[in-house]
Amino acid sequence: MAISKQSVYEPLTENGAISLTVRLGLFPEGAPLTCREIGDGNLNLVFHVVDQQTGKGVIIKQALPYAKVVGESWPLTLKRAVIESNALRTFASYVPEYVPNVYYSDESLAITVMEDLSHLQIARKGLIEGKTYPLLSKHIGEFIAKTLFYTSDFGMNQQQKKQLSQQFVNPELCKITEDLVFTDPFFDYETNNFEQELRNDVEALWNDDTLHLEVAKLKRKFLTEGDALIHGDLHTGSIFASDTETKVIDPEFAFYGPFGFDIGQFFANLLLNALSRPEPQQEPLLAHVEQTWGVFTNVFSDLWDRHNVEPYAKTPGLLQDVLRQTFVDAIGFAGCEVIRRTIGLAHVADLDGIEDKNKRIYAKRRALHLGKNLILQRRVLNDVQEIRALFLQTFTT
């Protein structure tokens, strides 16, 4: 169904969400419908409407005109709902198996109506419970490889790419990332949030010119490089998973950005979960990091060989150069994400949920060291196995 421009924005209620599904004819007439608002993210309302007779459901996601995580004092564009539904549709044209089906979207109401994925679990929650999701990295590696390749100048007509990129000009949401990921945690800014026990470690980051120079270079890449349509917020809270299925949700931060960003955010959130686990249970997370990169490079290289539209595609060394730069950038972006999720505005439950305070502080201190090492050493890491070595080293220093 097309995006309509007729309605006037107001936040939906649970009853309003039910009425909308009836109006859209998503359920049989007279179906006994119930609805719950289940949003637990930082920005939006999420309604789960269920037909109690059949058990079938739909999800209605509605953007609020402010960031829920902070409150009404932080206004936020509603346009992000259109970006999100357009991104889901674009991704679906390349990897329908990895995104929810979009049934309807309404720009004025800032809503996207989509497939109910409640048979799956948010990957972050499952990972915190100790699940390992054996196919997670295979699926996410494929998702990233295909979406990046096909929306880049290598996989798509280069004029069409420029046109497509116009749909994803997303300055407000990019600004959030520019601030919260690449800037605020590295300065004494009031958005930061950390335990006093970490103050010495945090002040060391604020006073480290070498680190600042490297983060500034990474931020510049995020600001200027439009390689492909990226998800823009690919942490484990943006992924639904089971042992057999994986679905990527919430691409409201999507824009034309650097190849390495989604990979880096995914790596970082796997590593944050690993940091929260006792040592013997960290292995599956480290294996996921390696498998993500392995699958990504295989799928991307295969697409490069078979579907590249760029006349220089067969030039010896070009693919290797693109992959190497993507790897180095991904590690740097991962380092920034690890640090911001530890001391910035929006934390992760993996670390905040460690009940024992000493263990929590210890894990966060390790996270800060790991983040810094990822950023500073990204160029000397030769292959993905060396991330494991860096992670294990951080544990003993």
Residue 63 makes contact with ligand SR1 by CB under 6 A: no
Phi, psi at 146, each rounded to 5°:
-70, -45
Helical axes 318-343 vs 283-307, angle rounded to 10°: 140
CB of 70 to ligand SR1, least distance (A): 6
Q: How far apart are CA 131 and CA 246, in angstroms?
A: 14
CB atoms near residue 13 (< 10 Å): 13
DSSP strands (E only) in 168-265: 228-230, 239-241, 246-248, 255-257
Considering only CA atoms, which of 28, 17, 173 is closest in space to residue 87?
A: 173
Q: Are 232 and 117 in contact (CB under 8 A)?
A: no
- Nearest 5°: phi and psi at 243? -70, -20
Q: Which residues of 351-390 are buried (b: 16+ CB within 10 A; e: fewer)?
A: beebeeeeebbebbbbbbbbbbbbbbbbeebeebeebbeb
Burial class (CB in 10 A: 0-12, 13-18, 19+), 103: middle
CB of 176 to ligand SR1, least distance (A): 5
Place of tokens 């994986």: 246
User: Between residues 175 and 217, which has the closer beta carbon with respect to ligand SR1?
Assistant: 175
Please state, in angstroms and as integers, the Cα–Cα distance from residue 100 to each residue in 37, 229, 357, following that order: 18, 18, 38
What gap in Å lies between CA 328 and CA 324, rounded to an integer? Answer: 6
Judged by CB under 6 A, the stretch of 99-107, 153-161, 176-184, 300-308 that binds ligand SR1 is: 176-184
Helix (H) or strand (E) holding 303: helix 283-307
Nearer to ligand SR1, 104 or 255 (CB): 255
Site membership for ligand SR1, residue 67 (CB under 6 A): yes
Identity of the residue, 42 or 377, whose beta carbon is nearer to ligand SR1 in the bound complex: 42
Distance between CA 17 and CA 48 in Å, rounded? 9
The Cα-based distances of 265 to 19, 102, 114, 288, 371 in angstroms read 37, 25, 25, 13, 12
Is 218 an interacting residue with respect to ligand SR1 (CB under 6 A)? Answer: no
- Is residue 350 part of the contact set for ligand SR1 (CB under 6 A)? no
The span of 132-140, 174-182, 223-231, 308-316 binding ligand SR1 (CB under 6 A) equals: 174-182
Residue 68 or residue 131: which is nearer to ligand SR1 going by CB?
A: 68
Write the single-letter amino acid at 349. Answer: A
Nearest approach in angstroms of CB 346 to ligand SR1 is 4
Instruction: Assess 43 for contact with ligand SR1 (CB under 6 A).
Output: yes
Residues 281-310 that bind ligand SR1 (CB under 6 A): none
Residue 215 beta carbon to ligand SR1: minimum distance, rounded to whole angstroms: 16
Provide the minimum distance between the beta carbon of 212 and ligand SR1 in the complex, in angstroms, as a whole number: 20
Nearer to ligand SR1, 56 or 68 (CB): 68
| Residue of 14, 22, 42, 318 interacting with ligand SR1 (CB under 6 A) | 42
Q: Which is nearer to ligand SR1, 214 or 233 (CB)?
A: 233
Q: How far is the CB of 389 from ligand SR1 (least distance, A)?
A: 28
Is 180 near ligand SR1 (CB under 6 A)?
yes
Residue selected from 83, 102, 145, 176 as contacting ligand SR1 according to rule CB under 6 A? 176
Of 268 and 368, CB closest to ligand SR1: 268
Binding-site size, ligand SR1 (CB under 6 A): 9
Q: Which of 346, 375, 384, 390 forms a contact with ligand SR1 (CB under 6 A)?
A: 346
Query: Is 349 a binder of ligand SR1 (CB under 6 A)?
Result: no
From the CB of 43, what's the least distance to ligand SR1, in Å? 6
- Considering only CA atoms, which of 313, 192, 317, 328 is closest in space to residue 259? 328
Interface positions, 110-129, toward ligand SR1 (CB under 6 A): none
Helix 80-94 with 158-167: angle, nearest 10 deg: 140
**Which one among 201, 233, 329, 350 touches ligand SR1, defined by CB under 6 A?**
233
Nearest distance, CB of residue 236 and ligand SR1, angstroms: 11
Binding site for ligand SR1 (CB under 6 A): 42-43, 67, 69, 176-177, 180, 233, 346
